[in-house]
Amino acid sequence: QVQLVESGGASVWAGGSLRLSCTASGFTLRGNCMAWFRQAPGKEREAVATIYNRGATTDYADSVEGRFTISHDKTKNTMYLQMSSLQPEDTAMYYCAARLAPSDRFCPRRAEPFGFWGQGTQVTVSS
């Protein structure tokens, strides 16, 4: 059974840092297209970052490029999102997502191709 469990969300001040974790079970993270999404109240869910090509390739939304880093640890089957220089506009529910397919070369920054989602972890950034 595929399961994704996020953790690490918290309330922080602007300029602070957080690391989100997404622990997977039922499949192996490495070798699959994985992503972090976020959704703020009243806004559409947006892709923050993806990791694919067996972890060799990462892609980021312009709004987080240079501040966020996506990675995974194959020994723990866990994906991370290291977030720094957080701003109030980063406030949102953050979700990890998996697209399970024979190849992980196709890993777009949009929600529809992702079939498995975690329950979300809240990040709140105050100014």
pLDDT > 90? residue 21: yes
State the chain's mean pLDDT as an integer: 96
pLDDT > 90? residue 63: yes
**What letters, b where the CB count within 10 A reaches 16 and e where it falls short, cover 98-108?**
bbbeeebeebe
* Coil/strand/helix, residue 58: strand
Give the single-character DSSP code of 88: G
Mean pLDDT of the region 44-51? 97
pLDDT digits (tens, 9 = 90+) for 28-43: 998 899 999 999 999 9
pLDDT digits (tens, 9 = 90+) for 90-121: 999 999 999 998 888 889 999 999 999 999 99
| Cα–Cα dist 67/82, whole Å | 8
Q: CA of 40: how far to CAs of 44, 51, 81, 122, in Å?
A: 7, 22, 17, 10
